[in-house]
Amino acid sequence: MGRILAIDYGQKRVGIAVSDELQIIATGLTTVETKKCIDFLKEYCSKENVSCFVVGEAKHLNNTPSESAKYIEPFVGLLKKTFPNISVARVDERFTSKMAFQTMIDSGLKKKQRQNKALIDTISATIILQTYMSMSEMGR
């Protein structure tokens, strides 16, 4: 069984989270510049067994694609083309940034630390991964 790697795609930064090999624990990995994301993933996948990418799906409250979907969809296409042997799943990412921010507050981070957008992106990716893993577990 390979790791599951979750991606919170943004125009400037990409938050990345990963599961353990048994797909039990979701952990924030890093945040990378968007333009360096594919190179980062190539490097990571050359060292680790990744069985699935999970990419956040940006939607409005009425379930229609948000403005960021026009940037995410081409990335998903590139991901599938670059890694044809790794499946790509999508997870609704509505509210992940708010949940990430609340997580930072709940964990006692100071205001200055909560302004770290890269940390928010990594936590958001972790929430996307946890959501996917919970949904997969319910389907078993």
For residue 81, tell me if it sits in a domain.
yes
Q: What confidence tens digit (pLDDT) does each residue in 42-99 have? A: 999 999 999 999 998 876 667 676 677 788 999 999 999 999 999 999 987 765 666 6
Show the domain range for 130.
3-135
Strand ranges, E, within 1-76: 3-9, 13-19, 26-33, 50-57
Q: Decide if 97 is inside a domain.
A: yes
Instruction: State pLDDT tens for residues 92-124.
Output: 776 566 666 666 566 776 777 666 677 778 888
Residue 16 lies in a domain: yes
Domain containing 57 — which CATH number? 3.30.420.140
* Structural domain contains residue 128: yes
Of 5, 99, 21, which is closest to residue 53 (Cα–Cα)? 5
In a domain, residue 140? The reply is no
User: Domain for residue 9, yes or no?
Assistant: yes
Is residue 7 one of the residues assigned to a domain? yes
21 φ, ψ (degrees, to nearest 5): -65, -25
| Phi, psi torsion values for 50, nearest 5 degrees | -110, 125
> What's the predicted TM-score (pTM) here?
0.84
Counted domains in the chain? 1
Instruction: Tell me, yes or no, whether 42 lies in a domain.
Output: yes
